[in-house]
Amino acid sequence: NQYINKFSIIIILNHILFILCYYNYNNINKISVNNGIILQMHGKGFGSSKSTTKAFPYTGSLRPGKLSPTRQVPDNILKPDYAKDGIPKLTQRGLPWDITTHTKEDIQRMRVAGRIAREVLDEAVRSIKIGITTDEIDRIVHEATISRNSYPSPLNYHKFPKSCCTSINEVICHGFPDSTILQDGDIINIDVTVYHDGVHGDCSETVLVGNVKDDVKDLVITTYNAWKAAIAICKPGKINCIMI
């Protein structure tokens, strides 16, 4: 019908945009300079061969801290295929929007992994306080994951150096845990993923640190409500893009 056709067009346009953005992203090299980041961008827009170099355009006061040595995982823990070299091998074949239908057994394993991830995240959330470093949060996540006979999925995924993601204030997602100290008024998202019995369980939560401004609280609450609304319509037979 007309409703489905309209959303089909939206889906196609979104996929085209995804492919173009992915192409452009792969033409960017990141170079570390003086504890900061320089982006060496090949091209202005799609298809250009002209190179430019510029400093990373920070949007707030947050700057990268110092990374601690990579934490180790015991040999007896089942590891994903990228654990050694950082390169995932069992990526899904086909187009990015192809969706795999899982078996009941797969779903049960996902439930277990998801429950473990939630337990680990709860431990991390309980540790949040003014003065703690994000590296200490990473240590807690790492040890809590290992103690549950699981592998911290972010670790060495495409060379990611830590066992969870900690994103403070203006950092949208996937921040590196480092020597950064949480301050009164910060918000922090902790993203935990564990690999257990061959599947990944993933969850995250945003935490208020100390006395947070009302408009920042409103942002967190609004985001949480949007998340709940999206989950409420995730049912068999629903069109993915209806969530937007």
The whole model's pTM is what?
0.76
Angstrom distance (rounded) from CA 239 to CA 244:
10
CATH 3.10.450.50 fits 104-212, yes or no: no
What is the residue extent of each domain of the chain? 2-55, 104-212
Residues 6+ apart with CB under 8 A from 55: 36, 38
pLDDT at position 222 is 96
What pLDDT is recorded for position 13?
61
Cα angle vertex 229, ends 225, 232, to 5°? 140
Amino acid 91: pLDDT: 66
- Model pLDDT, residue 49: 37
In Å, how far from its chain's centre is CA 121?
14
Q: How far apart are CA 169 and CA 187, in angstroms?
A: 5
Name residues of the chain where pLDDT drops below 70.
Answer: 1-54, 91-94, 96-97, 240-244
Q: Give the pLDDT score at 189.
A: 97
Calpha distance 39→155 (Å, rounded): 23
Copy the structure tokens of residue 158: 């495409």
The pLDDT value recorded for residue 78 is 97
Per-residue pLDDT, 33? 34
Closest C-alpha among 183, 179, 213, 205 to residue 68: 179
User: Do the Cβ atoms of 166 and 65 come closer than 8 Å?
Assistant: no
Per-residue model confidence (pLDDT) at position 98: 75
114 CB-near residues (< 8 Å, 6+ apart)? 201, 202, 203
Q: What pLDDT sits at residue 235?
A: 83
Mean pLDDT of the chain: 82
Work out whether the CA dihedral 241, 230, 105, 155 comes out positive or negative: positive
Dist CA 188 CA 209 (whole Å): 8
What pLDDT shows up at residue 44? 33
Residue 11 exposed, middle or buried by CB count within 10 Å (0-12, 13-18, 19+) = middle
CA distance 212 to 195: 34
